[in-house]
Every structure is written in structure tokens, then in C-alpha cells.
Amino acid sequence: MKKIQKTEAEWKAQLNDLEFHVLRKSGTERPFTGQYNDHDALGTYLCNACKTPLFDSSNKYHSGCGWPAFWGELETANIVQKTDHSHGMNRIELLCSCCNSHLGHIFNDGPPPTGTRYCINSVCLEFVAKE
């Protein structure tokens, strides 16, 4: 997979303020406000910054956490996991391996078969419906 490297100015020109804050500065959107939190259409979720496929709708579920939740990623997603000690917490941050954009965090309280919950900011995603 080809790595995408852009300057901060290039990312600011491409992304709106919220997208830049979350994707490039590891921020978060307010819970229950994202467009994909209650989204149930069939398709694929891409990285909003570089369009790398990340999740299939068949792995999405309603966790009640306020952000889109998935129990697994696409086999080809290449999502990077990184230790995150920000805000006085110990978490695992998820990053797009292609553009290094922040996506969200992963937790061990998800449903079978994986028991994991990929908690992803809606603003980090772009949805492409199945035809």
C-alpha cells in the first residue's frame, strides 16, 4: 500500500475544520452526532482522508457508545494500532496505515465473533453503498 504524505497546509486545504481536528489532530466528534452512528445501509466505509477501504457494513453494529462501531475490519484495511495514553487513559488508538489519520479506538467489549469494538468517528469515514 502506497503511503500518502501531505503537509499540514495540504491537509487543511482538503479537510473541513472538524475533519482536520479529528483525522489529523486525534480529536473526537461529540457522541451521537455523527452521520454514521445509526447508519444501516449496505456498503463499505472508507478513510475520509485517503479513501482506503476500512470496514464492511456487515461488521457494523449498534453498540450504544455514540459512535459507529464495528466488530472487525476489512482483511485488507491495514489499520494500525498504537498505544494511546492521552487524557489520562490507557487505550489503543486506530490509525489508517495509508495516510496515518486518526480513526478512533479499539476496545475489548464488542460482540462475537471477535469481542472487539472498533469505535470510529463518523467524520473519519466515507460510505460507498453496494450496488
Please indicate, yes or no, if residue 58 is contained in any of the structural domains.
yes
Please indicate, yes or no, if residue 86 is contained in any of the structural domains.
yes
**Count of Cβ atoms closer than 10 Å to residue 114 Cβ:** 15
- Catalytic positions, please? 119
Q: Find out whether 104 and 94 touch, Cβ atoms under 8 Å.
A: yes
pLDDT digits (tens, 9 = 90+) for 18-30: 999 999 999 999 9
- Please give the pLDDT value at position 84: 83
Please indicate, yes or no, if residue 1 is contained in any of the structural domains.
no
Integer CA distances (angstroms), 78 to 3, 25, 28, 33, 72, in order: 12, 20, 21, 27, 12
pLDDT digits (tens, 9 = 90+) for 46-65: 999 999 999 999 999 999 99
Find the domain containing 35 and state its range.
Answer: 8-129
CATH for 103: 2.170.150.20
Q: How many separate domains does the chain show? A: 1
Please indicate, yes or no, if residue 105 is contained in any of the structural domains.
yes
Phi, psi of 69 (to 5 degrees): -125, 140
Burial of 101 (0-12, 13-18, 19+ CB in 10 A): buried
